[in-house]
Every structure is written in C-alpha cells, then in structure tokens.
Structure 1
Amino acid sequence: MQSVGDVLKQQLVRTGRLLGDGRGWTLLVVAAGWLSILGGRYLFPVVLPQVRRFFGVNNAAAGTAITVLWAGYALMQFPAGALTDRLGERRLLTGSLLIGATAIVAVSFAPTFWLFVVGCGLFGLGTGLYGPARGIVISRKFGEHDGTAIGVVLATGSIGSATIPLLASRFVDSIGWQPTVGMLVVPFLLVGIGVWVVVSQPPTDPDGSGSSLKLLETVRTAVTRRAVAIATTAVTLMLFVVQGLTAFLPTYLVMVKGLEQTTAAGLFSLFFLSGAVCQSLAGNAADRFGSPTVLMSVAGVSVVPLLALPFVEGPVPLGVVTVLLGSRLAINPVSNAYIIAVLPDAVQGTAWGFLRTSFFLLAATGSTVVGALFDAQLANTAIVGLAVLTAVATGLYVFLPVRTAVDSGST
C-alpha cells in the first residue's frame, strides 16, 4: 500500500508533465489569483469578532455581511460566464482582481456597518468574475487532464484560505481589522498584472452567436440534463454546509469550545491546509477512477467529523476533527471539472456561469442560517444539521452517471 508521501510525489510528477507549452505559467498566475481571492474571502470570518465589537452588531448581522459577500459572488457568476464567452478569460480574470482590490479599500475605510456590508457585496461581485473564467481557461488549456489542473488551482486557493487568515489573526489585535484587511490590496494588484501578461486571449464573439432565444434554449437544455441537475443539487448542499461552517467555525471554537482566538485561527488554517492536500489528490483520483466514485466517497466521509465536532473538547482533538473537516473541500475540483466537461462547448461559459450563480446564491444563505442558530444558543444543533445536509448530498452522488456516459449523450 502506498504512503501519503508516495501518492503526493506521484501527483507532483503527474502535474509536472502537464506544464509544458506555457501552461505552467498560466497555471501559476491563475492559481495565485485564486489564492488571493479565497484568502481574502476567508479572512472575514477571522476578523468578525473585531468587526462585531467595532460596529456593535450581533452574530446574525455579522453573518449577513458574509452572506452578502457570497450573494454578490453568486449573482456575478451568470454574467461572468456569458462575458467569458464574449470577452475572453484574460479580461475577466484581470478585471476581477482589480475590482476586488477596489472593494478591499472600500471595506477598510467603511465608517458604518452597512457601508461595510456594501463593501463586502462589492468584493463578492468583483471576485465573482474570476470563477467561471478560471474554470474555462484551465479546461481549455489542460483538456482531459483538467481534473488534475483544477485540483492544483483549488488546492492553492485553500493554502491562501489557510495562510492569509492565520497571518491576519496575528496582526488584527495590534493594528486593527481595517489595516489588516487593507493589506490584501497588494497581492490583488500584483497578480492582476501577472494575469494580464501571461494568460492568452482566445478568439471571442463580442456580438454573441445566434439569436438570444436560441442561446437561452441551448443553455436551458444543457443545465437540465440529468447529470448536470444531480451534480448541481449535490454541490449546492455541500457549499451551503461549507459556507455555514467556515463563516462561524472560528467563532464556534472560541464561544463554544473556549479556545483563544489565535488558537481558533490556527485550527481554521488547518481546515484549509487539509483541504489543499485533499483537493490536489482528488483531482488526480477523479481522472483515474471517475468523478462519481470520488464525489460520493468524499461526501460520505465528511459526514463523520461534523457529527463528532459537538462532542470533542481540547485543542488537539479539535485539531484532528478540523483536519478531517477540511477533506470535504476535495469536492470542489472534481465537481467543477465534471460539470464543465458535460456542458456543450457552444454555451459552456454561459451555462457554467448560470449554474454557479444558482448554487452559490442558495449556498450563500448558509452563514445567515447558522448565525441565527448561534444567536438562539443552538450552535451544536446547527453543526448536526450541516451533517444531515452532507448525508443528503452523498445520497445524490450515488445516482451521478459516469462522465463518459454523459459525453456520449446517453444521459
């Protein structure tokens, strides 16, 4: 039986073979952009205690700010997908990072809570341009090995989710939450320049192709295919759980488990570091063993740590559970590659953007729901509820057809 080290070594060798013909630079800058965006997004839960005290709001209100961020991200997915088809990935990726940098400045200087919320919404809208273009450019560049490449990109994002909030937790008490958030402007601007220089611009169709009615009908047919419907419903549930969990995991560890904020931030980082390892392995595993098997296995296994979390005490046991919780992030690269692959090329960007708007918008409510349960002193009930939703997603993945069957048009 191979050790984890051997598997990771094989993964690195496999990934290295995919980086010729300039693809390595594309992978690097796209991954760096995703690292900055995810790191910024998950910085907000870490600074929420300071934000709550600064503006004098409760958990439900703070959760609403995170929901608005995610809702803005979700609402931008459909137009971003359509714009990717018409303008190309380079313009969308660069524009996303520049708008994100502008939003960071707005959040950092917000004088009232509701202007802070508006800034969060702008951050969501701006960074929402990135996701569809990121998936399409990687799929276009890496072809049948897209699962591995997307896994690398999302794993890099998870590293950002781990390291940036952890660094923020070290600074937030000494310099305040506004300068801590504001420092994110630098990587956003630098990576934006890198993306513009490196990413190639494919042929685009600025005027659209065919009539709008025909386009909408093609998109409708694409997104209602059985494989797409099952995968989208399941990933919506998984994202709802991730959103609710990550928005309040640091708060839960401090308020319910009695940990110091720096310790809670460290465990929060473990969640994403674990996710990074699992994402890099899952993309490769899906390329080898099939997406349905990997999705069902990851979802099923990730039920267990959620059920265990309310009953575990102490930093070390909680650290173990947190590492296991992070394994659920392996869903993302596999689900993304699967859905993109089974969508028609002619409307791939538009249909993918529409689906991302749908599942991210629904999932965005997770933080508000969990925040309300926390205010009602039902934190552990919220965690168990998230486990139940994960179990439902596992059941859906049982019925997911293999990718080759979908590609051949049999489902």
Structure 2
Amino acid sequence: MNQGRRVLLTLMGAFFAAMAARLLVSPLVPEAVAAFETTPGALGLALTGMWLSYALVQLPAGVLAARHGARTLVVSGLLVTAVASGLLAAAPSALAFGAAVVALGVGPGLYFPAAAALLAETNENVGSALGLHISGGDAAGVVVPLAVTAVTAAWGWRATPLLGVALALAAAVGCRLALPAPSETAASPASSGRAELRAALGRVFFDPRVRRVVLFAACLAFCFQSITSFLPAYLQAAHGLSPAAANARFSLAFAVWILGMPVAGRLADTVGTDRVLAATVVLLGVGVAVTVLAATPLALLAGVVLVGLGMTWGGVVGAKVMAALGEDGRTSGYGAVRSAYGVLGASGSVAVGALATAAGWRVGWSLLLVLVALALCLLARDARHASAD
C-alpha cells in the first residue's frame, strides 16, 4: 500500500473516532438533563462551548503543526479527545459535565488542520482525499446513536462516553504507527506559519467577498450544530419518541446526509455552487418546518429525511470558500474561514437550547427557520455582488 492511501485510510478512521466522541453527547442530552437536574439551555451553552473551542483551536493548530509536525498534532488531538471523554463519563455535576463537553472540542480542533496538511502532502488528488476523510467522520453519525442506545440500555449513560475513550485511544495508537514522522514531510517554519495566519485573518475581516461567504456559512453552521446537538432530544420532547426511536431517526438523517453529499458535489460542478446551495438550504428549511408541524409518524420521518438532504451542503460550501479565496489564498485562508464561520455558528446550540427552555422545544426548533431565511438572503446578496463584479 502506498503512503498516500495508508495516510488516508488511517486518518479516515481517526476522524471517525474524533467525530464519534463529540456526537456521543447529543443522544445523552435527555439523560444528562435528568441526572443533573439542569435544563436544555444550560447544556446548550456547554455544546456551544464545544463547537467554539473546536473552531478557535484550529487557528493556532496550523502553526503548531508546522513547528512540531503534523503527526504530533494528530496524535495529541486524539489523546486530548480521549481524556475529555473520560472526564465526561466521570463528571460528578452539571458544571463538570459542561466543562468536559467544552474540552471535547479541543482535541478535534488540534487534529483537523494537521490531518488536512498530511492529506495534502501525501495525496495527488487533494480534494478527493479531503472529501473521503470527512466522510469517515460523518459515518460516526450513523453508528453512534445506535451504539448509544445499546450501551445506555445495558450499562447506563455514564458507560457511553467510554466508547469515545476507546475509539480515540485506538486511533491515536494507529496514527502513531501508520503516519509518516515529521522529518518525512515538508513543514513550514513557524514564523512563516504565523505570517500566513495573519494574512488569512486579514482576508476574513477585510475582503468583502470572503466576508459574505463567512456570514452565509455561519448561518448553515448554526443549523448544523443545533441539529447535531439536539435532534434526538427534540424528537423525544416534542413528538414523544422513545430514546431508541429518536436515535434511529438521528442515524437516518446522517445516512441521508452522507449519501447525498457526493450527489450535491457533482450537481454543483454541473449547474453551479449557488444553485445547489440554494436548493439544499430550501430543503433544510422545509425539513425543519415539517418536523415542527408533523402530526403523523410518516410525516415526521419525511421531515427527518428532508433535514438530512438539507445538510448536504458541506462540500459545496467548501468549493464556494475556495472560489472566494482564489488560488493564492487557499492554503492558509481555508482554515481561517472555517474557524470564523465555526465561531459565529457556535451560538446555535445555546440559542436553540435557551429558547427551548423558555418557550418549549417546538419554538426553539423553529429558530432554525429564521437562520435558513437569513442564509437565503445572504446567498442572494452575494450573487448580486458577483454579477455586478
């Protein structure tokens, strides 16, 4: 097996572990609310902290990878993920549980830029390699909710985060053994990395085209983080589903999402990124509306499928970001843009959780419709500016 394929397969497994550790939290929200006598809003604040730490840590992670080697950052990120998962299982209070949830964002934040750098260095078809890498992580969304149901039923909710510990540790060992040592890959000087970081942040704040894409992507990130944080809890509270049934529908949404992403990417190459983005955002809005208004199990199932289809924008947004940055700014700019819209979108969990606590789950969930409408307005505005240019 050549080096590029070995690195890709290893990192697909590693990203599965990193994503699984974070996704384990979402199906546990009802259990944690009951165990700690807290509220969805309080846990939403912790989940927002997790996504915020994930986004912010990616900014210095690239510089650290340049200084210490990408493999070192990948392994370190996985070890931090394992420790945070262990703290989650042992949390004695709501505060400790929330702190562990926030810490779960740090490890994957260290991991992702270093993994992307390794894939770019060892694979000729970088776009394809990055897409397959992401799909490895997304596959966790299909498996994790079902695993949570089985483990929680057998041993209680505190046993569930231990799955994250085991997966992250196994992935760390595999990466240490299979990935090339720092000396075998080209690393940029730390000073060069810092200069690129400053330049990339400048594009985010001062380039109007990049700024418009960041705001649009932030709306979608808000929806993504809210859905991945609260869909099982929403289905249980608003529609009376059992934990097993809610987790099964969560898995279904992820399965549709994974299968739909390549189709969305091919359509974007054929008809254009903006048209595909508009279609996926509309599907997302319709799906959210159906899950709010559904009066029958079949209608609710259809709404979940539509939500999954509406989440297939990930690769297409990446293509729009690359187009906005241009060839000269792609290397350093992509991470900065990803961090920027991740930080802005991180408010999704706390906003939906707080509104659900104050006014009920259906009202909290309906907030996503506002973000969908805002995303469509921003996309239309960007299209007008692009045609004017």
Q: Does 1:126 align with 2:107?
A: yes
2:337 maps to which of 344, 355, 362: 355
Shift of 1:301: 2.5
The letter for the 1-side match of 2:334 is: W
The letter for the 1-side match of 2:115 is: R
Give unmatched runs, 5+ long, in structure 2: none
2:190 maps to which of 189, 192, 207: 207
Task: Indicate the residue corresponding to 1:299 in structure 2.
Answer: 281
- Determine helix, strand or coil for the equivalent of 1:203: coil
1:114-263 pair list within 5 angstroms = 114-142=95-123, 145-200=125-180, 201=182, 202-209=185-192, 215=196, 218-223=199-204, 224-263=206-245
Q: Which moved more, 1:186-195 or 1:277-286?
A: 277-286
Task: Indicate the residue corresponding to 2:299 in structure 1.
Answer: 317
Cα–Cα, structure 1 residues 217 and 120, in superposed 2: closer, same or farther, change >3 Å? Answer: closer
Shift of 1:215: 4.6
Task: Indicate the residue corresponding to 1:365 in structure 2.
Answer: 347
Cα distance in 1 between the residues matched to 2:280 and 2:117: 24
CA contact (8 A) 1:107 1:116 kept: yes
2:253 maps to which of 265, 271, 284: 271
Task: Indicate the residue corresponding to 1:383 in structure 2.
Answer: 365
CA RMSD of aligned residues (A): 2.8
TM-score, normalization: structure 2? 0.88
Cα distance in 1 between the residues matched to 2:114 and 2:86: 24
Cα–Cα, structure 1 residues 33 and 73, in superposed 2: closer, same or farther, change >3 Å? Answer: same
CA contact (8 A) 1:274 1:326 kept: yes
2:22 maps to which of 14, 22, 41: 41
Cα distance in 2 between the residues matched to 1:86 and 1:292: 38
Q: Which moved more, 1:370-379 or 1:340-349?
A: 340-349
The letter for the 2-side match of 1:388 is: V
Q: Deviations over 1:96-118 (max 9, x none)?
A: 11110111111111222211222
Cα–Cα, structure 1 residues 323 and 206, in superposed 2: closer, same or farther, change >3 Å? Answer: same
The letter for the 1-side match of 2:16 is: L
Cα distance in 1 between the residues matched to 2:76 and 2:330: 20
CA contact (8 A) 1:94 1:196 kept: yes
CA contact (8 A) 1:46 1:250 kept: yes
CA contact (8 A) 2:55 2:109 kept: yes
Cα–Cα, structure 1 residues 96 and 328, in superposed 2: closer, same or farther, change >3 Å? Answer: farther
Shift of 1:86: 3.8
Instruction: Determine what percentage of the aligned residue pairs are the same residue.
Output: 27
Q: Which moved more, 1:183-192 or 1:345-354?
A: 345-354
Cα distance in 2 between the residues matched to 1:221 and 1:60: 34
Q: Deviations over 1:134-170 (max 9, x none)?
A: 3444445556x54443333323322201211221112
Shift of 1:347: 6.8
Shift of 1:376: 1.8
Cα distance in 2 between the residues matched to 1:279 and 1:254: 27
The letter for the 2-side match of 1:47 is: L
Give unmatched runs, 5+ long, in structure 1: 1-19
1:67 maps to which of 42, 45, 48: 48
1:72-87 pair list within 5 angstroms = 72-87=53-68
Shift of 1:341: 6.5
1:321-336 pair list within 5 angstroms = 321-336=303-318
The letter for the 2-side match of 1:219 is: A
Q: Deviations over 1:258-295 (max 9, x none)?
A: 11111011111111111111123333444555433332
The letter for the 2-side match of 1:203 is: A
Shift of 1:54: 1.7
Shift of 1:216: 5.8
Cα distance in 1 between the residues matched to 2:38 and 2:85: 21
Q: Does 1:105 align with 2:86?
A: yes
The letter for the 2-side match of 1:360 is: G
TM-score, normalization: structure 1? 0.83
Task: Indicate the residue corresponding to 1:9 in structure 2.
Answer: none
The structure with the greater share of residues assigned to helix is: 2
Task: Indicate the residue corresponding to 1:16 in structure 2.
Answer: none
Shift of 1:399: 5.4
Task: Indicate the residue corresponding to 1:8 in structure 2.
Answer: none
Q: Deviations over 1:290-331 (max 9, x none)?
A: 433332332233221112221113333212211110123322
Cα–Cα, structure 1 residues 289 and 190, in superposed 2: closer, same or farther, change >3 Å? Answer: farther
Task: Indicate the residue corresponding to 2:377 in structure 1.
Answer: 395
CA contact (8 A) 2:352 2:367 kept: no
Q: Deviations over 1:46-96 (max 9, x none)?
A: 011111222121221122221222122122121113323444432222221
Cα–Cα, structure 1 residues 42 and 309, in superposed 2: closer, same or farther, change >3 Å? Answer: same
CA contact (8 A) 1:85 1:349 kept: no
- Determine helix, strand or coil for the equivalent of 2:239: coil
